[in-house]
Amino acid sequence: MAVTFQQLVDHVITNAQFRHEFEKNPVAAAESYGVHMTEPLKHALQKLDINGIKQVAIQMQGPAQFT
């Protein structure tokens, strides 16, 4: 079964332990979740803006900080 981007994002947002692992090592965390690691994906994950991801994940999991 294909792991979709939506599933990966949902897992990052809803699973605090996984998010912590993803923030430390996104390539290993994505692989452990079952994502098939391609070279383009590995490259994208290695240069990932981890702080940016963290900010979005915190905002998405709510409750919203601003509203």
Partner 1 sequence: MKNDFPRHEVRAAVAAIHEKLREGCSEQVAERVCAWMDTLSPSGQAPDYFLQPSMFPMLLVPAWMSESVDVWDGRFQSELVYSSVNAYYSIRLLDNVMDGHETCEKELLPLSAFFHAEFQGVYERYFDASHPFWSSFRSLWLQTADAVVREAQLATMDAQSFREIAANKLSAAKIPLIAVHHHLGGQTDLAQWLLFCDELAAWWQFLDDLMDWYLDDQRGACTYFLSEAERRRGREETRLRWVLREGFEWGVETLEQWREALQRSAHTLHSDDALNFLDERGAMVMQEARRLLPGMQAFEEVALAMDKETLEV
Binding residue for partner 1, selected from 5, 15, 18, 25, defined by CB under 8 A: 5
6 binds partner 1 (CB under 8 A): yes
Count the alpha carbons within 13 Å of 59 in the hemisphere toward its beta carbon.
Answer: 8
23 binds partner 1 (CB under 8 A): no
Q: Is 55 in the site for partner 1 (CB under 8 A)?
A: yes
The answer to whether 29 contacts partner 1 (rule: CB under 8 A) is: no
Measured from the Cβ of residue 45, the count of other Cβ atoms closer than 10 Å reads: 19
Q: Hey, which bits of 1-67 come out as E strands?
A: none
Least distance from C-beta 45 to partner 1, angstroms? 7
Widest CA span in the chain:
39
